[in-house]
Amino acid sequence: MDHLYSAADLPTSSRWIEALGRQATIITSIFARAGFEPIAPAVIQPADLFLDLIGEDLRARTYVFTDPDGAELCLRPDLTIPATRLYLDRFGDEGKPARLSYNGVVFRYQRAGGSLARPREFRQAGIEYFAPDAPAQAEAEILALSVESIRAAGLRACTLRIGDLGIFEALLSAIDMPERWRRQLKHHFWHPPAFRRQLQKLMKPEEFGRSLAAPLLAAMEAARREAARHGDAVAALERHIEARGISVSGTRTLEEIALQLEGLSADLRSPPLDPRSALLLDAYLKLATPARGATEAIRGLLKTTGVEIDAALDCFDERLKLTAQEGVDLSDAPFSGGFGRQFEYYTGFVFEILSPIVGEAAPLAGGGRYDRLVEEISGGKSITAVGSAIHTERLLLAVRGGRP
Amino acid sequence: MNETAAERLVLAVPSKGRLMEDTTALFAKGGLTLARTGNERGYRGEVKELPGVDVAFVSASEIADLIRKGEVHLGVTGEDLIREQIPDADNAVEFLLPLGFGHADVVIAVPDFWIDVSTMSDLEEAALLYRRMHGSRMRVATKYRTLTRMYFAGHRYGDQPRAVDAVSMYRIVESLGATEGAPAAGLAELIVDITSTGSTLRANGLRVLDDGIILRSQANLVASRRAPFGERLAALKDDILARITP
């Protein structure tokens, strides 16, 4: 789709703007009827927070700038984080339920000013449901409202694709391995080549040692012997570093290094990851099936492995039932084990709504469950949250059959 | 660039320092005299033996930008500056010739006492733990934002394949001078900077990661792919290229 129009064709005509306005009225009234309160977070946001949550990749697709006071700021690249900040401002992290909605402009850098399906400036219409009493019901409701909005805007045919990070986390927890490995694998979920490499490594932990520098191994051994004698790996590490005439400075502490060394040392002594477990994880991430057959397919993978994740699978089936009750039939929607959208803050159900008119690479809407975001922003408690945002320009483009 | 200017070949050369001296010497060796015209301190110049060539004496850091925009045809500047300022350098710039001077490696250096970190993959692990302990990402002080971001994301320069060892759990803090002092000052946890001998890094208690050489840079003669080269200017370019032997 992108190639059909150049940036110069981006519609700025009053008719396009008016059509967007009419579409927004339809969508926001659906949100309002469902009890979502409209909010309008600031357009200019602290870059710091976004960089900490999303990382340096952000700079490649966001307008980050320094103001005359020297503060690093950005034009918001999405509204989930600003909405979460606003929720925290209002309610703290006490877990008070809140339904918030918005229809606001966001900015993302696009090469050469962008294209119709990827404008650098567009409006997101979204809903965020914090601390719902019934999370699975909230997931179904958020998805259903998104689909309802898209249909009400006039799009006849759209498709869905879904994933579930909850099942992945349940799998990791149920497979026997050190907690440290679980954290690493969870982090690598969003980087498949690194994930596969990590699996390979965990199957042969003795190979770690070969790639580690000799002084490191010696230090680890010394720290371990010392720890056995005095129970103080940090002191041992300090002596080792002093003996080599290296000074300690900066914010990273000896405790951290000792902890990391203990972890590496434990890796070397750990029984390797069972190859069957590695195969299971790999097969799960490659799994692609219509949603109605997903849990059966996963149970098939688990057979003979002794791994049990019934609670997570039941939760998935329950959600299918709830969304059907809400009027959205997910049974044909493709489910992929490796589908997690691009943000590390997603923790559970994730979905994207697609139209063949603008293509799979440009979803009309996307959302999911992100229980860790509140905690990561506030440093306080984690709070269940489910949200979704519609790319309104793309939606209008799809409604008009791909012509502005 | 308007049409009358387009009839002349514009060569951008560093306006001061070692880079200028080495460039002048290299051109002289090939029988080409770079000279300023008019005022001795002026910024316009000529190649005495090639009447069709204008020389622009500008700061090395501005040359990449002029090349990117196509405002000059040829330039002499460091590959590090080109790749930093032009993220899609391989499409925008033709690297004609490495010149054998201005050597500098762009490297990733960590405090030497991080004995648990000697590779990018160790760094990502340490950064994950750092995030859990400090609640924020590790900070990398650098003036090479683009090179850092590309390399940390797995991009490799030269003929090396893309790396699996991506590091994502970090933040860049901009540093415009004395970058090597940033970790000790508590302004960053590690740095990306240029080094020629490594002695400044060592003096500051820093060590280069085993796979931490982002780019082995040197001064290059480059051509802009955006500047208009007619037949005559292309011939002039070839003439200059033929005379220079590093």
Contacts of A183 in chain B (CB under 8 A): 128
Contact B111/A249, CB-based, under 8 Å? yes
Are the C-beta atoms of residues A131 and A384 closer than 8 Å to each other? yes
Are the C-beta atoms of residues A350 and A64 closer than 8 Å to each other? no
Alpha-carbon distance values, A187 to A113, A190, A203, A338, A370 (Å)? 33, 7, 18, 13, 15
Shortest alpha-carbon distance between residue B116 and chain A (Å): 6
Q: Cβ of A213 under 8 Å from any chain B Cβ?
A: yes
Mean pLDDT calculated for residue range A308-323: 96
pLDDT at B184: 93
Round to whole Å and give the CA distance between B237 and A344: 50
Question: What 3-state class would DSSP assign to A275?
Answer: helix
Terminal-to-terminal C-alpha distance of chain B: 30
Least confident of A31-45, A162-176, A220-234, A327-341: A220-234
Q: Is the pLDDT of residue A216 over 70?
A: no
Per-residue pLDDT reduced to its tens digit, A124-147: 999 999 999 999 999 999 999 999
The nearest alpha carbon in chain A to B210 belongs to A213
Alpha-carbon distance values, B13 to B34, B47, B144 (Å)? 9, 11, 22
Going from N- to C-terminal start, the domains of chain B cover 3-102+218-243, 104-217
The nearest alpha carbon in chain A to B137 belongs to A52
Reported as a pLDDT band with limits 50, 70 and 90, residue A209 is low
pLDDT at A249: 85
Per-residue pLDDT reduced to its tens digit, A143-198: 999 999 999 999 989 999 999 999 999 999 999 999 999 999 999 998 888 899 89
pLDDT at A233: 74
State the fold for domain B3-102+218-243.
D-Maltodextrin-Binding Protein; domain 2 (3.40.190)
Round to whole Å and give the CA distance between A106 and A40: 12
Phi and psi for B162 in degrees, rounded to 5?
A: -55, 140
Place of tokens 């002029």: B66
Contact A55/B169, CB-based, under 8 Å? yes
Query: What is the CATH superfamily name and number for domain B104-217?
Result: Periplasmic binding protein-like II (3.40.190.10)
A119 secondary structure, DSSP code: B
Round to whole Å and give the CA distance between A71 and A378: 20
Contact A56/B152, CB-based, under 8 Å? yes
Per-residue pLDDT reduced to its tens digit, A362-391: 999 999 999 999 998 988 889 999 999 999
pLDDT at A266: 82
- Residue ranges of chain B with pLDDT lower than 50? 1-5
Q: Does domain A2-158+355-399 have CATH number 3.30.420.10?
A: no
Contact A197/B189, CB-based, under 8 Å? no
A271 secondary structure, DSSP code: P
Contacts of B213 (CB under 8 A, 6+ apart): B105, B106, B107
Round to whole Å and give the CA distance between B25 and B31: 10
Mean pLDDT calculated for residue range A45-54: 90
- Three-state secondary structure string covering chain B: CCHHHHCCEEEEEECCHHHHHHHHHHHHHCCCCEEECCCCCCCEEEECCEEEEEEEEECHHHHHHHHHHCCCCEEEEEHHHHHHHCCCHHHHEEEEEECCCCCEEEEEEEECCCCCCCCHHHHHHHHHHHHHHHCCCEEEEECCHHHHHHHHCCCCCCCCCCCCCCCCCEEEEECCCCHHHCCCCCCCCEEEEEECCCHHHHHCCEEEEEEEEEEEECEEEEEECCCCCCHHHHHHHHHHHHHCCC
Contact B136/A52, CB-based, under 8 Å? yes
Place of tokens 């060592």: B202
Give the H or E element holding residue A334: strand A334-336
Contact B149/A59, CB-based, under 8 Å? yes
Which of A251, A257, A261, A342 should be substituted to probe chain B, the one whose Cβ sees the most B Cβ atoms within 10 Å?
A251
- Token pair belonging to A119: 């404008």
B141, B118, B146, B117: which is closest to B129 by C-alpha?
A: B117
pLDDT at B165: 78
Contacts of B207 (CB under 8 A, 6+ apart): B109, B110, B111, B112, B114, B201
**Predicted TM-score (pTM) of this structure:** 0.86
Are the C-beta atoms of residues B127 and B169 closer than 8 Å to each other? yes
Place of tokens 């399906």: A117
Supply the mean pLDDT for chain A. 89
CB-based burial label for A176 (10 Å; 0-12, 13-18, 19+) = exposed
Mean pLDDT calculated for residue range A292-296: 96
Are the C-beta atoms of residues B153 and B166 closer than 8 Å to each other? yes
Round to whole Å and give the CA distance between B198 and A172: 43
Bridge-based pairing of strands B74-78 and B9-14 is: parallel
Q: Cβ of B126 under 8 Å from any chain A Cβ?
A: yes
Contact B145/A59, CB-based, under 8 Å? yes
Reported as a pLDDT band with limits 50, 70 and 90, residue A401 is very high
Round to whole Å and give the CA distance between A202 and A52: 28
Per-residue pLDDT reduced to its tens digit, A76-93: 999 999 999 999 999 998
Going from N- to C-terminal start, the domains of chain A cover 2-158+355-399, 208-269
Contacts of B205 in chain A (CB under 8 A): 246-247, 249
Contacts of B119 in chain A (CB under 8 A): 211
Q: Answer left, alpha or beta for residue A112, where phi above 0 means left and psi between -120 and 50 means alpha.
A: left
Contacts of B79 (CB under 8 A, 6+ apart): B95, B98, B215, B217, B218, B219, B220
Bridge-based pairing of strands A349-354 and B9-14 is: unpaired
Q: Give the bridge partners for A365, in sequence order.
A: A353, A390
Contacts of B120 in chain A (CB under 8 A): none
Round to whole Å and give the CA distance between A295 and A403: 40
